[in-house]
Amino acid sequence: MRVLLADYQWSDLDIENELLAKAGHELVVAPDQREETFKSLAATVDAIMTCWAQIPASVIDAVPDCKVVARLGIGLDNIDVAHCTAKKIPVTNVPTYCVEEVAEHALALLLSFARNVAFFDREAKQGIYSLSNGPSMRRIKGRVLGIVGFGRIGQSLAERALGIGMKVLVHTRSPYKGNLPVKGVPFDQLLATSDFVSIHAPLTEQTHHLFAAETLGKMKQGSFLINTSRGGLVDHAALLDAIESGHVGGAGLDVHDPEPPTMEEPHLKHPRVIVTPHAAFTSEESLADLRNTSTCQVIDALAGRRPLNVVNDVIYD
């Protein structure tokens, strides 16, 4: 069988080609990301894999007997999942992708603020070698981390924060029933008592600009905001106002809105904002895991087996 790869973000396709060939299948790589290109290739394939490219109903319908639509990632915004479900086509993703990496990145941003790492580096490279220029620093042990959204990544971050002696508060839609010594609290309480707030919530109509002027105003004086989730969760104009007023101590932003952002935006130039280019998800290990898992799920679907992570309501015998 033949598998259409709509797009990819890595340098080679050795993993995908090797796994598919071993199972007796062929990879068909789209030369561009236009819908018409996908539709023209779809007539000759049995499955679709996509990283960021949009896979609408028209592309899905162009595959005569589509066995699976596989997302090389976690989110499913670029796939018409409802249409796949109506056609009894399984949709897969990799929910464990980059969990460790994003948690590590969030903690790195937290530590950078706690120890003024980025600030001192910037000052020193401008010829200012002065300890007294930096904001005052407090011991990390005993300080409070508030985590908004407590799925796999939030829990992984909590493990790391607890390991360095922090206290962890969480706010989540579903009560946490695991064994980590964290405390679930109302959103406003988390904001008012946390020294650092790390966002790990999905972007929906309800959570768009979850951190706007009112929310930011409820944060503890001098606390720090970290966002490695989705740029649209934060109103960046309101964030800049909160930082310039001194109410918010700073922000670590790995995600932006739009993305890539216009680097002329004032909040990105502020000395109390650390900016990384949507890098939290990546590592050699996470990328290899993603590619292996996604391709193996496609192979299972082509063989009539239920893939490991089916996100829609498709019944397997």
Q: Which residues pair with 148 in a beta bridge?
A: 171, 199
The DSSP symbol for 52 reads S
Q: Are strands 144-148 and 223-227 parallel, antiparallel or unpaired?
A: unpaired
User: Does residue 24 come out as left (phi exceeding 0), alpha (psi in the -120 to 50 range) or beta?
Assistant: left
Residues labelled catalytic: 230, 259, 278
- Number of DSSP helices (H) and strands (E) in the chain, helices first: 12, 12
Yes or no: say if 191 and 215 are a contact pair by the CB < 8 Å rule. Answer: yes
Contacts of 171 (CB under 8 A, 6+ apart): 146, 147, 148, 149, 150, 184, 185, 186, 187, 190
Q: Cβ atoms within 10 A of the Cβ of 109, count?
A: 27
